[in-house]
Amino acid sequence: MQKTVGEIYTSNNVLIEQIQINQYAEASGDDNPIHLDSEFAQNSNFGGIVAHGMLVLAQISELLTSIFGTNWIHNGHLDIRFRRPVYVKDSIQAIIEITSIESINNKSEINCKVSCIKNNDESVIVGTAIIYI
């Protein structure tokens, strides 16, 4: 699993549909009307139904898992900020860039810039990830 500073990984674009939001609400128990009730959401500050932040964040975690496998699951740390809402019919994509690799106590500490963009240009999540291998 040789990694190099500057490597960039991207997920496939995922189109957010109401069915995904409904399924996430059911699985998570988060039935906030901002995610499920179009009339409520239209009258909110968001102006429409918003996807759950954790549903969007899952794209980043899935990409990190595909890159680093169980090292991410067992030895990863994520620090992120939600920047913008994601609406039904937005297309999202996770992006991971390796920014540094350091040797610490016989392990490699891999630092990454992580983000999720919508509609190919707007950052909706930004942050960093650290993985120890």
Domain 8-17+51-132 sits in CATH at: 3.10.129.10
Q: What is the pLDDT along the chain (133 residues), one digit of tens a residue?
A: 689 999 999 999 999 999 999 999 999 999 999 999 999 999 999 999 999 999 999 999 999 999 999 999 999 999 999 999 999 999 999 999 999 999 988 899 999 999 999 998 999 999 999 999 9
| Cβ–Cβ < 8 Å for 102, 108 | yes
Reference 28, options 1, 59, 53; nearest CA is 53
Instruction: Give residue limits of the domains in the chain.
Output: 8-17+51-132
Q: How far is CA 103 from the centre of its chain?
A: 27
